[in-house]
Amino acid sequence: MQRNESGTWEVRCATCRHIDELAEADAFGPDAIVLPALPAPGAAPTLPLRVLGLHRACWKCGSDTTCVAGLYPARPARGYCGLFTTENARAMALGVQLLEQNGRADLAAPVKSRYSRTMREQQLTNGCQYCDALQGNFPVQEEAFARVAAAGGADGLDTLLIAECPVLEWQAVVHDNGGGVIAV
């Protein structure tokens, strides 16, 4: 806790270690952020994280398939607004890892490395649970964005799992410059 400019107390997340103050520095470079090797003093070693998804019709076979859509804290701090979607490679990998570690291999299995002709590279992507057709990170993110906008927040997506996530793994996603963030 510290006093802000207006003199009132504000709570700062010990996990993020005042990244906003770093960003205001003249010499700040997002790629130069050095993440700590241990949780910050006062931070819990894990945080409850929601693995979010959406159900959609497969473009190829028409079956209703579940796609991993993003990550969001189960109990976000006041003012927190970043929903990390599957457009972010680290978020996608962490979502799959949490699903596998917590007995939801059925939801993790359709997510695998595939070649995207649009992006011209291998990416970790959602596939149809029935025909394995690539669902595409961009189309899934666009659909997630529409649902989040319509619902006014992360509750526009389905919670596939709430899992304890090591804060350092979450911190690596939050401070990654890979994009795929929706302000909620």
pLDDT of 16 over the 70 cut? no
**Three-state SS across 151-181?**
HCCHHHCEEEEEEEEEHHHHHHHHCCCCCCE
CA angle (133 as vertex; 130, 134 as ends), nearest 5: 130
Min mean pLDDT across 48-52, 106-110, 146-150, 172-176 is at: 172-176
Show Cβ contacts of residue 47 under 8 Å, excluding neighbours closer than 6 positions. 15, 73, 74, 75, 164, 165, 167, 170
Q: 138 and 146 in contact (C-beta within 8 Å)?
A: no
What string of DSSP letters covers 16-74?
TTSHHHHHHSTT--GGG----SSPPTT--SEEEEEEEEEEEE-TTT--EEEEEEEEEES
Residue 85: strand, helix, or coil: strand
What local confidence, expressed as pLDDT, does residue 10 receive?
Answer: 52
CA pair distance 86, 48, nearest whole angstrom: 19
What are the structure tokens assigned to 34, written together?
């050095």
What are the structure tokens assigned to 26, written together?
């003249």
What local confidence, expressed as pLDDT, does residue 128 receive?
Answer: 96
Q: 128 and 135 in contact (C-beta within 8 Å)?
A: yes
CA pair distance 157, 146, nearest whole angstrom: 10
Mean pLDDT over residues 20-47, rounded? 70
What is the residue extent of each domain of the chain? 2-32, 46-183
Min mean pLDDT across 48-57, 92-101, 119-128, 173-182 is at: 173-182
